Structure 1
Amino acid sequence: MSDATDFAALNKLAPAQAVDFLQRRKMLTVTHSWQDLWHEEHAQQFTISRLTRVDLLATIQKMITKSVQGDLSRRDYMRNAKAALSEAGWWGEKTVIDPATGREVITRFDAARLKLIYDTNTRQAYAAGLWERAERNKAAMPYLRYITQRDARVRELHRQWDNVTLPVDHPFWNTHWPPCGYRCRCRAMSVSQREYDQGKTPDGSPMKKTAPEVLTRDWVNKRTGEVSAVPVGITPGFDYNVGQASTRAAALQKLVTDKLSTQEGNLALTAEALGMQAPKNAQVVADVPDWKSLGYPDLRLAKNVAVAPELLPGVQTNAEAVVILRDALGIPEGGAVVVTTPIEAVTILDSTLLHVVEKRRDQRERFANFVLPTLQSPSEIWEVAYDDATLRRRYLKVFSGSKYDLFVMVKVEPDGGIFWNMMQRDRKGLNALRVGERVYVDPAL
């Protein structure tokens, strides 16, 4: 099948929910790498890497939405998008400045790029719509079946997932909800209890009722240095359920709108008129100094560093991961522990642990033994202001004998409350976090 035929087939699927997904993404975000906007952020924001003109982002977004609505053909999208980019001087090669590095980078807009933009956005939109429909109908259709196109173009691992049939709420769908990569043509179909009990697909082949073993590989986001455990067979960036992310974004927006609508003068209408949306992730305030501008040495050159503790095995569920963190940190269930650091006492509540490990693909519980050494004897502590009026202290620790270092962030709220989180990073990525004011450095570093 051609790409055009594939898309025509997709057009038969849940178009109303697909349009809803596209229309929820009202934030237009300028990015300079496909890694700048990640997973759930795509449910609220629309971007095209290195397209720095917000008006052009809006134009292309409207074209894609019209196409999914059936008001614009794929051919018309290609023609109109090319015309808009050409008129603005963005067709062909374009040089832009990457603010993260200050360097010139070259981007290119041509027919192949426009096709990829179209393909990725429309397939993600239909995937979100299909998930919404699956959730809505799961009382009558409690299972989902993974389906490939069963031709020579199907990726080998995707081929192995063909006919995997599992409950809608099975964790497999948290990471294996198609599309599972660029130009992936796989999809999932709802299955009734009767069909499941019969155990056969419409073509007579047997359903696979056991979840396949999910192997992961560590993948480093070169923009942030963050390390994620990505399932083998899935392209990094596609290892999440776009439908779940869209549903959460819609629920958050509804919560904001409902609260505003109870206020005098119906602030919800005013907020909508002004284009106000549910808040996105807080960002570091502009123009903060970094380690280079302050003249500090590269952490990759650090010598006298601590020996890395044992790296623990990852687990499948959030509940298991929380238990691992409790044991490593010495926190009783429902209790807390106070950790003395070189500059303050940090209280870690048991109630905060679930948030730390809820992104199962990252398997942060593997690094549980790294947390106390990082807080108690950090290599550096940095304090940086964010645009949500918070100060966040970043505890950084360099270890030897370990592929990754640890980043522990203590977030100080405007009311003085404290929240904490941790992430694993590679040494280069740890350097990227050294911004703001360095308030502590290990004398032996």
Structure 2
Amino acid sequence: MPSPAQEFAALQKLTPAEAVAYLQRRDSVTQTFGWQDLWQDEHAKQFTVSRLARADLLQDIQAQITKSVGGDLSRRDFLRDSKTLLQQAGWWGEKEVIEPATGEVLKTTFDPARLKLIFDTNTRMAYAAGQWERIQRTKRSHPYGRYITQRDDKVRPAHRAWDNVTLPVDDAFWHTHTPPNGWRCRCRIVAVSQRDFDAGRTPTGEAMKKTAPDVVMRDWLDKRSGQIKSIPVGIDPGFGYNPGLASARQQQRQVVDDKLAALSPVLANAAKVAGVSIPAVAKAIADQPNWKSLGLLDLRTFQSAATAPEMLAGAASAEAALGTIRTALGIEAGGSVLVQTPVEMVMLNDLTLPHVVAKRTDQRERFANFILPTLRNPTEVWATRYDDATVRHRYIKLFAGAKYDLLVLVLLEPDGSIFWNMMQRDRKGMNVLREGDRIYDGT
């Protein structure tokens, strides 16, 4: 009997070329200590197995998955060979690993069930990315996509409601709802011609649903980072993105980066400031001082906090979100504003705002009224060192009467230009980010 993964691959009716290309574009392996550590689009560039703290084993497992998708190995072969690999390396069964950032001892288990989940998730994402690439190539003749479930009792109720939703392939619905939409999700998307769309019936005679469902968002706490993330209802955390679009964006970014690398440093930096390319994702380096090592109070014990400003409504589009933030900051299109903070003068530039609101699922514009109070009167400011040799100032502000506190990150570039971003966190999450040198105490 074929496995769910084999059934999924067969239903895609794909040659493995597109799926293999997706896997090969993930040209780096990353050690992570929680599945949340590599989030959504980041999987288009990097491969990981949570808490497998050996790069050589990560590379070997990645190679095995690529061979499986390419047809050189069956699922059974992958499970057998990966088990042998992990056994020989002493990684089979329960293991303890040390989280470098915190020194915490974490437990993990590698067994047949874990290997099946690794295989199924990676192959389904690869086939989904490959299918999306094909849909994009053929959208002139097949301009619509149709959501299909397996129509059995294992289908999630929310996914069942999306069965036969048929929309233009460029509809925003597919940005977040392209399957798989959860762990072991077997849903898929197929291309639909204009003639079939006009007929309004599926090959089995069912009516197509031609209206995009309402996308309702919910807040979800990432317990690893403490960050509050906004995710679509009905989709498992970490699956609310389109793997094909993520892979395409990664390819486009690589082209831009290659072109920038060929420019002189002055021109390359000017292009980055102009929004041609945004700073690469960087991570705080390990072994910096933190609030615990410095003997500081837990933020959850703080009694004094500012009154929270009005929380704004989420915008319907990125352009509307941009307008919301411009209004809150007093920035005109193409302009900038200077903000005096306790430690420096910060220039907020309109050119950097599109990046702040780019992830529409986060709806960061809701917190636009929190930005200026955070910069002008922060609770703390931390200078945190990152692995790209930069130092980013983390402005932390505590607000009373708000479910979340606000964190503003300000990055000072070597040429004096400034890139900034913001995120909302609960107070436990804020504690995690109190690392580096505390350069201002407003308590």
Superposition TM-score, scaled by structure 1 size: 0.93
Question: Is residue 307–residue 401 contact of structure 1 (8 Å, CA) maintained in 2?
Answer: yes
Segment of structure 1 superposing worse, 319-328 or 250-259: 250-259
Distance 1:279 1:89, change over 3 A: farther
Residue correspondence of structure 1 range 185-224 to structure 2 within 5 A: 185-224=186-225
CA distance in 2, matches of 1:350, 1:359: 17
Structure 2, gaps ≥5 residues long: 265-277
Question: Is residue 144–residue 166 contact of structure 1 (8 Å, CA) maintained in 2?
Answer: yes
Give the corresponding residue for 2:310: 310
Residue correspondence of structure 1 range 353-368 to structure 2 within 5 A: 353-368=353-368
For the pair 1:111 / 2:126, whether they are aligned, the reply is: no
Letter in 1 for 2:212: A
Give the corresponding residue for 2:432: 432
CA distance in 2, matches of 1:8, 1:64: 13
Give the corresponding residue for 1:271: none
Give the corresponding residue for 2:274: none
Give the corresponding residue for 2:323: 323
CA distance in 2, matches of 1:304, 1:103: 30
CA distance in 2, matches of 1:58, 1:209: 43
Question: Is residue 9–residue 124 contact of structure 2 (8 Å, CA) maintained in 1?
Answer: no
Segment of structure 1 superposing worse, 337-346 or 160-169: 337-346
Question: Is residue 290–residue 435 contact of structure 1 (8 Å, CA) maintained in 2?
Answer: yes
Post-superposition shift, 1:11? 6.1
The aligned length equals 429
Give the corresponding residue for 1:38: 39
Question: Is residue 143–residue 191 contact of structure 1 (8 Å, CA) maintained in 2?
Answer: yes
Provide, for residues 106-145 of structure 1, a one-character-per-residue CA deviation record: whole Å limited to 9, x for no partner. 1111110000000000000011111111112212211111
Distance 1:194 1:153, change over 3 A: same
CA distance in 2, matches of 1:172, 1:37: 23
Aligned to 2:77, what secondary structure does the other structure show? helix
Give the corresponding residue for 1:387: 387
CA distance in 1, matches of 2:101, 2:233: 29
Give the corresponding residue for 2:153: 152
Aligned to 1:319, what secondary structure does the other structure show? helix
Question: Is residue 18–residue 126 contact of structure 1 (8 Å, CA) maintained in 2?
Answer: yes
Provide, for residues 374-418 of structure 1, a one-character-per-residue CA deviation record: whole Å limited to 9, x for no partner. 111110111122222322111100111111000011110011111
Question: Is residue 290–residue 436 contact of structure 1 (8 Å, CA) maintained in 2?
Answer: yes
Aligned to 2:36, what secondary structure does the other structure show? coil
Aligned to 2:114, what secondary structure does the other structure show? helix
CA distance in 2, matches of 1:11, 1:400: 51
For the pair 1:180 / 2:181, whether they are aligned, the reply is: yes
Give the corresponding residue for 1:229: 230
Letter in 1 for 2:127: Y
Residue correspondence of structure 1 range 82-161 to structure 2 within 5 A: 82-161=83-162
Segment of structure 1 superposing worse, 313-322 or 251-260: 251-260
CA distance in 1, matches of 2:392, 2:263: 33
Letter in 2 for 1:18: A
Distance 1:333 1:7, change over 3 A: closer
CA distance in 2, matches of 1:297, 1:213: 43
CA distance in 2, matches of 1:4, 1:302: 50
For the pair 1:239 / 2:223, whether they are aligned, the reply is: no
Post-superposition shift, 1:165? 0.9
Aligned to 1:237, what secondary structure does the other structure show? coil
For the pair 1:63 / 2:97, whether they are aligned, the reply is: no
Aligned to 2:419, what secondary structure does the other structure show? strand
Question: Is residue 389–residue 414 contact of structure 1 (8 Å, CA) maintained in 2?
Answer: no
Question: Is residue 335–residue 349 contact of structure 1 (8 Å, CA) maintained in 2?
Answer: yes
Give the corresponding residue for 1:274: none
Structure 1, gaps ≥5 residues long: 264-277
Post-superposition shift, 1:287? 2.2
Distance 1:87 1:341, change over 3 A: same
Distance 1:173 1:401, change over 3 A: same
Question: Is residue 100–residue 286 contact of structure 2 (8 Å, CA) maintained in 1?
Answer: no
For the pair 1:410 / 2:398, whether they are aligned, the reply is: no
Superposition TM-score, scaled by structure 2 size: 0.93
